[in-house]
Amino acid sequence: MINKPLDSITIDDIQDLIEDNIIEKKTLDYKLIIGDKKEFAIDVSSFANASGGNIIIGVAEEKLDKKKTGKYFLSPIKDIIPDQMIQTIEGIVRDRIEPRVFIDCKHLKYEDGHIFIIRIPKSWNSPHMIKDASRFYTRNSNGKEIFDYIGLRSAFLASESLRKEIKNFRADRVGQIIADEGSIPIKNHPGIVVHVMPVSAFSTGFLIDIANIDPQNRPIPIGVSSWDRRYNFDGVVTFVSNENSVSYAQLFRNGVIEAFESIDSRQYPKLIHDVSVNIIKEIKGYLSLLYKLEVELPILIGISLVNVRGKRFKNDGWSTGEIDRNIIVTPEVILENQHKSIEEVLKPVFDTLWQASGYTRSPNYDHNGSFIGR
């Protein structure tokens, strides 16, 4: 894989691959054109089922006496509209692979045409099947191959194990927070807990060098303008803690970010303020930080409420029905594309939170599902 964020890749990076004779391998594939749609879908699924990687379209292989030489050169795609080409690629992936594989695409201008880069993350939901063939493919250093029985069974088991590990991590952390054994004691405040969890934190052994993180590259607690910070066993935490409120953001060594904000009101003890706008703002900041630290997608986001039994959401002067339980843990949502709207990704989460207090959906979205941020 090209070890750079997709947005940072330039045509010079692609030319360096060609000039350095970096050949096709487990995490890299060159194509002159999209070609056969089924074969293209097979290629994409094989990357997702293995270690992830990049497909670069607009690269040709040199031939000598009609035989391939193993050397490549840039051959840009001409007479196309880049956005339409990307839509075609996304349509092939959407319609021909199950469960769906999320990809990210970029086009680079080169001479009188375009080079396309398709980045396929290692999937957290593998194995992925080709719909019209009912077959599963993976990759090794020689390219794609059909999963054998043992490999396929292992992929199913690994995927299920990963999902359980992520859910158990969240459950354990929420339990520690309630017991005042989290990064900062919450002093029985009702609050909202945010988990931003790169899949790589649970599957690759990825670790951040906490000691060398720039002070500007630390997560900010939700809804505050100033804070303290300190290193701890888990990584580094920034926080505000006083009698009236608690807010902190913990960056774990594996790239997970956990944030807590108290959401009670001293004047109206039964009411909890809607902090959707603040949460979205800070999650965007957390994602930006992880991208700077070169943490790979996909990233799971989970939101929980703690110490909220009997509380009501307050929004623009009105309140909802009482919440009937002390802890609410919403299902995780997944971000697999940097360009996806965070507001759109989080809508099911906010709807679930408001439904827990008797409301139909979050009032922060209109009837078309667009975020309006009341």
120: its two tokens: 């396929």
Distance, CA of 265 to chain centre = 33
Instruction: Name the residue among 152, 144, 145 with its Cα closest to residue 128.
Output: 152
> Which one of 3.40.50.300, 3.30.950.30, 3.30.300.10, 3.10.20.600 gives the CATH number of domain 6-147?
3.30.950.30
- Segment (H or E) for 136: strand 135-140
Amino acid at residue number 36: D
Residue that has been written with the tokens 């350095």 in this structure:
20
Nearest to 346 by CA among 360, 358, 362: 362
- Please give the pLDDT value at position 266: 67
- What pLDDT score was predicted for residue 337? 81
Instruction: Give the per-residue pLDDT at 160.
Output: 87
Long-range contacts of 264-271, Cβ-Cβ distance < 8 Å, separation of 24 or more: 264/189, 264/190, 264/191, 264/311, 265/314, 268/314, 270/310, 270/311, 270/312, 270/322, 271/311, 271/312, 271/313, 271/314, 271/319
Helices and strands counted in the chain (H then E): 7, 21
Domain-wise residue ranges, the chain = 6-147, 157-355
Residue 329 structure tokens: 């843990």
Q: How far apart are CA 131 and CA 93, in angstroms?
A: 10
* Residue found under tokens 């330039």: 10
Residues composing the chain:
374
**Residues 271 and 311: beta-carbon distance below 8 Å:** yes
Q: How far is Cα 121 from Cα 1, in angstroms, rounded to an integer?
A: 10
Give me the residues of the chain with pLDDT under 50, please: none
How far apart (Å, rounded) are the C-alpha atoms in residues 42 and 127? Answer: 12
Please give the pLDDT value at position 9.
93
Spatial contact of 298 and 159, defined as CB atoms under 8 Å apart: no
Residue 20 pLDDT: 87
Structure tokens at 84: 């339409």
| Residue 12 phi, psi (nearest 5) | -65, -35
**SS3 call for 197:** strand
Question: What pTM was computed for the model?
Answer: 0.83
Instruction: Give the sign of the dihedral formed by CA 224, CA 275, CA 282, CA 183.
Output: positive
pLDDT on residue 82: 95
Q: Tokens for 113, please give them.
A: 């045409």
Vertex 25 angle, CA 131 and 291, to 5°? 80
Characterize the bridge pairing of strands 97-98 and 327-329: unpaired
